[in-house]
Amino acid sequence: MRRALRLAEHAASIGEVPVGALVVDAEGHTLAEASNRREHDADPTAHAEVIALREAARKVGTWRLDGCTLCVTLEPCPMCAGALVNSRIARVVYGAADPKMGCVDTLHALCTEPRFNHRLEVVSGVLAEECADVLRTFFAARRGEEKPEKPRPTT
Amino acid sequence: MRRALRLAEHAASIGEVPVGALVVDAEGHTLAEASNRREHDADPTAHAEVIALREAARKVGTWRLDGCTLCVTLEPCPMCAGALVNSRIARVVYGAADPKMGCVDTLHALCTEPRFNHRLEVVSGVLAEECADVLRTFFAARRGEEKPEKPRPTT
């Protein structure tokens, strides 16, 4: 998760919402690392998780990521939770919960939905505070840029 | 939807599960067309809908597909339903319902989920029989290849 945090910080440094993800195989080797690139790629699917899953699959030569783990700083959205199910990955480990779009635990539980053709192990809350802080800092800075704070009256 | 059916048939012709999709803008111009390419691309995210959304976004130069419509032969899975929400697209039109993975109406209603930051109009059942037939024919042929039918006894 420390590495995923660095990837999230990289996203922030290029003006993207800071989320980072990596895919590790059953032996612990990193297959893919990614930062969110939605703005830079002008691609609604370019979340860190999707990019990492695509690269990992390319690396192993099949769309099936049996036995692998995806580690991500923010709880996956419906698209990314669905992509995890579709990839047949074994496990997702995430940091901060996402009250707005989280679909692993918060709004839906798509990764453990018994009616789908694959379910995966879920580990949540790993370095949750640090992961949430990267997002908080990014959005606070952006709000600061958009609405420069007025000098306070000195009364 | 007739064009999406042709795209699904193309997928079948290259050994892919036959699903086809296209994205049309508010003026009715086709921005992107795609067939499922999961096997060929060794990519768990290469469903027709995701490929079409990515290409349409590249065409318009932004990840936001405001005012556009995606038309697809099969009810989108959780990943694709989530990608539709993420793209801020206005409408999805689909053919056959998917009892196994359908997440627009059947198992979940992700495209109209009131808690997400975007909802879209849903039109279902367009040429549903033809869309389902393409899938039935494909899977029947595949089962035939896997388990060649024994000649029936001539009693």
- At A154 the pLDDT is 56
Interface predicted TM-score of the whole assembly (ipTM), two decimals:
0.91
Contact call for B108 and A110, based on CB within 8 A: yes
How many helices (H) and strands (E) in chain B?
5, 5
Q: What distance in Å separates residue A61's CA from the closest CA in chain B? A: 6
Contact call for B44 and A38, based on CB within 8 A: no
Q: In what order do the strands lie in the sheet with B91-96?
A: B30-35, B20-24, B69-74, B91-96, B121-123
CA distance A113 to B107: 10
Model confidence pLDDT, tens digit, residues A89-102? 999 999 999 999 99
Contact call for A53 and B44, based on CB within 8 A: yes
Q: In this structure, are residues B98 and B7 in contact, taking their beta carbons and an 8 Å threshold?
A: no
Which helix (H) or strand (E) is B72 found in, with range? strand B69-74
Model confidence pLDDT, tens digit, residues A8-43? 999 999 999 999 999 999 999 999 999 999 999 999
User: A53 to each of A1, B34, B36, B47, how far by Cα in Å?
Assistant: 16, 20, 17, 14
CA-nearest residue to A81 within chain B is B79
Active site residue A49: yes
Model confidence pLDDT, tens digit, residues A110-138? 999 999 999 999 999 999 999 999 999 99
CA distance B83 to B72: 13
The catalytically annotated residue of A39, A49, A113, A149 is A49
Q: Which of B60, B79, B115 sits opposite A83 (nearest CB)?
A: B79
Model confidence pLDDT, tens digit, residues B5-45? 999 999 999 999 999 999 999 999 999 999 999 999 999 99
More confident of the two residues A154 and A4 = A4
Q: In this structure, are residues B11 and B21 in contact, taking their beta carbons and an 8 Å threshold?
A: no
Question: Which residue positions in chain B have pLDDT lower than 50?
Answer: none
The pTM score is 0.92
Q: In this structure, are residues B15 and B140 in contact, taking their beta carbons and an 8 Å threshold?
A: no
